[in-house]
Structure 1
């Protein structure tokens, strides 16, 4: 009787660990193919001809049209550089440099991938439209008016920032270890 109870307990633990790790790999996945750079996360194998099984599962779960590896790389941030979730009741500032790319865009989305740009404005900020300070970017994101580069948003609740680098060499070679993404700093909350 004791043997049967131990066997059932081991099976329950094995199932919990197996399903738990599978869920983690498909949702967060930083240990299984995703790359974290500050608050930004990307799956560099998404556009490769033969992605690893975890990346393939992530692609299937997201069910989104993905760029080929030679076309670009998408980074997503759901929290600021301090680890607090991004919320539309706050304003944020992106500072720093973007990895080498021909062109890039920045947009804000909600949990259903609906663009949160204010009506009558562009749906995304483009690298070709920025005012730069000493070669670095400074972009304000939020519902409250800010000077210079401002991605105006509308709505309430949590959101994510999506930065897509087109024709980039990011995460391809030896310089990958030195690669940094812009920081995301909370400025003010209502």
Structure 2
């Protein structure tokens, strides 16, 4: 009887660990195929002809149309640079440099990937519309409260994610991956 109980307990533990690690690999994935640069995360093998199994699982789970490797790379941030979840009740500031790319867009989405841009505004902020600092760095304010200069106006409530899509970029390619830096996301105020 003890043998059967130990066997059942071992099977239960094995299933819990296996399913738990699989869920983690497909959602967070930092240890399995995703790359984290500060608060930003990307899956660089997503557009490869033969992505690794974890990336394939992520693609299937996300069920979204993905860019090919030569087309671009998408970075997603669900938290600020201090690790706190992004919340529409707060206003954030994005500072720094974006990796070299021909063009990029910045959008905000909710957990169902519905765009949160305020009605009557563009769905995303484009690199061609940004006023830059004197050193080429960008400063973008994100939130529901009016801010000066570059502002991504949002609407709604609850948690959200920022999606930075780089088009025609060498970021995270084998020869440029060590030079990649991403902008920081700083909490400004909360209501």
Q: For residues 24-43 of structure 1, what are the structure 2 equivalents within 5 Å?
A: 24-43=24-43
Measured against aligned partners, the alpha-carbon deviations of 1:32-70 in whole angstroms (never above 9, x if no partner) come to 100001000100000000001110010001110000000
Over 4 Å off, 4+ runs = none
SS at match of 1:103: strand
Q: Cα RMSD between the aligned structures?
A: 0.8
Q: Secondary structure at the match of 1:49?
A: coil
Looking at structure 2, the residues matched to 187 and 33 of structure 1 have their Cα atoms a distance apart, in angstroms, of 32
Distance in 1 (CA, whole Å) between partners of 2:118 and 2:20 is 39
SS of aligned partner of 1:151: strand
Partner of 1:73: 73
Q: How does 1:143-158 map to 2 (within 5 A)?
A: 143-158=144-159
* Structure 2 unmatched runs, 5+: none
How many residues align? The count is 190
Matches of 1:24 and 1:151 in 2, distance apart? 31
How does the TM-score come out when normalised to structure 2?
Answer: 0.97
Partner of 2:119: 119
Aligned to 1:105: 105
Rounded Cα–Cα distance in structure 1 between residues aligned with 2:21 and 2:39? 22
Shift of 1:120: 0.8
Aligned mates of 1:76, 1:131 — CA distance in 2: 22
Give distance in 1, aligned partners of 2:142 and 2:128.
17
Shift of 1:178: 2.9
Aligned-partner Cα distance in 1 for 2:13–2:71: 43
Cα separation, 1, equivalents of 2:138 and 2:117? 20
Measured in 2, the distance between the counterparts of 1:57 and 1:13 equals: 23
The residue number in structure 2 matching 1:6 is: 6
- Give 5+ residue unaligned stretches, structure 1: none
How much does 1:160 deviate?
Answer: 0.4
Q: Which residue of 2 aligns with 1:20?
A: 20
Question: What displacement does 1:175 show?
Answer: 3.0
**Corresponding residue number in structure 1 for 2:44:** 44
- Partner in structure 1 of residue 172 of structure 2: 171
